Amino acid sequence: MSLFMVMATLAVVVGGCASADWPFNGSASLLARADRLADRQQYEPALRTYDEFLARYPTDSAAPRAQKSRDTIASIVTARVELARLRSELGARDGELARLRSELAARDGELARLRQETERLRADLEKLKEVDLNLERKKR
C-alpha cells in the first residue's frame, strides 16, 4: 500500500470522526451541552438547549431525564423572575415605609408641641381660676 493510500485512508477516518459528535452522538452532545450550561448556572441558555434536545430527540432514552432537568431549570428561572419582582416591590415598599416614618416623626413633633401648648393653657387656666377666686373674695 502506498503512502498516499495510507494518508487518504487516515484522512477519511479522522475526517469522519471530526464530522460526527464523537465520542457522543448528536443527542448526547446536545444534552451534555445543556447540562454544562445548567452546571454553570446559565439557566436561560440551558433551558433553550433542553427544549432543543426534547424537540429534536423526543424518543431518545435520555428524554425523560432531560425533561426533568428542563422542568427544574424552568422552575429556577421562574423563581428568579419572581424574586426579582418581589425585590423590586420590596424596594418600592421600603420607599413608602421611609415616607411614612418621616410623616410619623413630623406628627410626633406636632403632638409634642400640642402637648406643651395644652400644659401652658392648663397653667393659664389655673391662674385665671385663682384670679377669679381672689376677685370673688374681694367682692364679699
| DSSP string across the chain | --HHHHHHHHHHHHHHHHHTTTTS-HHHHHHHHHHHHHHTT-HHHHHHHHHHHHHH-TTSTTHHHHHHHHHHHHHHHHHHHHHHHHHHHHHHHHHHHHHHHHHHHHHHHHHHHHHHHHHHHHHHHHHHHHHHHHHHHHH-
pLDDT of residue 24: 52
29-74, pLDDT tens digit by residue?
999 999 999 999 999 999 999 999 999 999 999 999 999 999 999 9
pLDDT of residue 19: 37
pLDDT of residue 101: 86
pLDDT of residue 6: 39
What is the grid cell recorded at 5?
A: 493510500
Summary mean pLDDT of the chain = 82
What is the grid cell recorded at 65?
A: 431525564
71-105, pLDDT tens digit by residue?
999 999 999 999 999 999 888 887 887 888 888 88
